[in-house]
Amino acid sequence: MPEGKLVIFSAPSGSGKTTLVRHLLSVMPDKLQFSISATSRPKRGVEEHGKDYLYLSIDEFKQKIKDDAFLEWEEVYPGTYYGTLKSEVERIWSLGKHVIFDIDVQGGLNLKHHFKQKALAVFVMPPSIKILEERLNSRQTDSPESIALRVEKAEKELQTAKLFDCFILNEHLETACKEAEKLVGDFLG
């Protein structure tokens, strides 16, 4: 089994990690492939199974945990699981590409701990909690209660930034994209 490297982008919800990951995939399509996470949460908006997430029932998710099918997993909110399937990383490495993750903070730290020097863990920092909350509200995909939970979680997650290899302040998207390209390009060599 050929092995590549892993590029991990983690951040509080609304920080812009998905936008940065999509940018990197568009400028480095020959080097990077997106790792599709598994989740037990329902689809939002126009999300698609196998593209945005691998949607599993709670029972299916728990069975995969028992089968040791995950590199990492967690119950992010009560009854809502997220995880990275070993088969997904193996699939991407078999294509001769490196894996890029758009993953929550705890999942990112779990992957970094597991893969150590083979992984670059990047924390995407929002300019402020207030701007983060504005971004979440402007999406119009979450209830006010859900946004409040995400903001509360973000305040805790910001404390973990120092545990990552580096961070990108996502205040101006163009600058953040250039910084991401340089960090990832240097890491992949």
Range 147-158 average pLDDT: 84
Asked whether the predicted pLDDT for residue 119 surpasses 90, the reply is: yes
In a domain, 170, yes or no: yes
Q: Which domain holds residue 57?
A: 6-188
Distance in angstroms (rounded) separating the CA atoms of residues 55 and 160: 28
Query: Is 118 a residue whose pLDDT tops 70?
Result: yes
Rounded to whole angstroms, what are the CA distances from 32 to 78, 86, 96, 185? 32, 17, 9, 11
Structural domain count of the chain: 1
CATH code, 86: 3.40.50.300
Maximum Cα–Cα distance across the chain:
46
Out of 47-56, 81-90, 111-120, 150-159, which region has the weakest mean confidence (pLDDT)?
A: 150-159
Express each pLDDT in 5-51 by its tens digit. 999 999 888 788 999 999 999 999 999 999 999 999 999 888 999 99
User: Looking up tokens 């971004």, which residue turns up?
Assistant: 135
- Assess if residue 165 is contained within a domain: yes
User: What order of strands is seen across the sheet that includes strand 54-55?
Assistant: 54-55, 38-39, 80-85, 70-77
